[in-house]
Structure 1
Amino acid sequence: MEKRNATSDFILLGLFKHTRSHLFLFILVLIIAISSLTGNALMILLIHRDHRLHTPMYILLSQLSLMDVMLVLTIVPKMASGFLTGKRSISPAGCGLQIFLLLTMAGGECFLLAAMSYDRYVAVCHPLRYPSLMNWQRCLQMSMGSWFMGAADGILQAVTTLSFPFCSVHEINHFFCEAPMLVRLACSDTSVFEYAMYICCVLMLLVPFSLILTSYSFILTAVLHMRSTEALKKAFATCSSHLTVVGLFYGAAIFIYMRPKSYRSANHDKVVSAFYTIFTPVLNPLIYSLRNNEVKAAMKRLLGNLANLKLQ
């Protein structure tokens, strides 16, 4: 098959067609994306401004919100502009940047969620040792480590994916550049890279996921032995929120990156990709705020301060 010029653009076929039903879905996605940006930005603002939330748990949560904001901004503006203007082309550099940013945020969230599960494990199982085991230095190391591991995976997959020669058919049946979709267009043998990408996904997804399951197995054992009803409710509230986020994020990511090639469907991939890049980020602040009394109290204090400023 004819190989294309390495400098020519890719064409993103997009998520929606120009029909009335798809226009409704497009508006719905925009509303969800804006809600996601607003909710996560508000979560970052609350944690930054309220000194009562300056704890490792909420610092890690602020990093999760920051990753979600950047994830939405990486995907939605390009998708929206392509649908509204009809210009669906994206340069190889732009495509590589999307892959890098996507995997930096998604990979970083994998390790960040594992760090958050360790924080909950220490808080529930070793409360007296919490100040020493989860100090500011450890929290900073976990946050920076999550960003670094995500960025390392992102740059590796972006550079390797774009190094392949691509065939004359350069249409990507997706609404953003994603490594598994781009590899399908390569004219050379990609089996070694696909195997390496699979191993990388095992490390990025299953290793942190195993750590999360291990942490929560210890937490569950400790919670079941609690005699205080109030402590039991608080432990269940914080841990169930985190487990909900973990289930949503890891379920979608494993579906996209760890299925055998023979079971892949472009339409299914687009729907699931939309779920973990657009819909999941809007759920995170809702889950953590609606089920967390400390966040709700911080919101009331912020609204009270704003009301006082208006009266002055």
Structure 2
Amino acid sequence: MLRSWIGLLGRPKVITSQLLKKSRYLSTAANDELVVQQLDGDDEGIVVLGLNRPKAKNSFSKSLSQKLTQAIEDLQYEEKLRVLIIRSMIPGIFCAGADLKERATMPQSEVGPFVSRLRRLLFDMQNFATPTIAAIDGAALGGGLEMSLGFDMRIASNNASLGLVETKLAIIPGAGGTQNLTRLIGASMAKEMIFTGRVVKGEEAKTLGIVNHVVKQNENGDAAYLKSLDLAREILPQGPVALRMAKRAINCGSEIDISNALAFEQACYAQVIPTKDRIEGLTAFREKRKPKYTGS
């Protein structure tokens, strides 16, 4: 069983691309609808995706969905990436879900494929190799909340609004919401939220288990983002391969029975044994210094 799991996992690789500098899809322009920021200095290793469609409340258009899809694909191969944060560049709104004005102009034949592509995008986000954090500093409704549910951790401001409101439009959450919310808060509460289309504030979202932390909003409207940065900084010093393997063990193990889950955990552990980082960690501990991990 262990050998078969190792075969499925494959061996960790160090990728040496410079996609953040070279990719034509990753924009640092302040006026682009998807702004990509590669932090530096002590924060090197943190990449921030900023949603930036102020007139459309960061709703998912065809264009934004395509840019997010390509950004996620490209960032998978960025060797220096340790933590990915998604935030809004627009105060008071995280993401309002689908662009309903654009959706209204779509022929019926295009709606299904578009939602399928969006579902695939959010699935790819959920399976992103490194730790991910969603900073919710405003309304996260419909597909906006669904997107955040695909991230490993969610931080919300106390004035944020969160809800899967699709039944109010005579549809259902179609980008993973029915499944991911259920896995977070249980079937009964997920049904109540989805059946009623209820919207909850940050404190209630924390009580329900939808978000990891809730913070009081500040004057700049970016309190959840700042808390997300603090959390990312706690993650940065850890071994990169260990983080990827821990994430994979949790994600896959939570979907299978405990016997297979433990075998999968053992297989993930086997991936870190031959790494240089593991030796560096032991050496640094013995020498009473901070380890210098390279992801190899």
Same topology, TM > 0.5: no
Report 1 or 2 for greater relative contact order, CA contacts < 8 Å, sequence distance ≥ 6.
1
Pick the structure with greater CA Rg.
1
Which structure: greater helix fraction? 1
- TM-score (ref. length: structure 1): 0.23
Which structure: greater strand fraction? 2
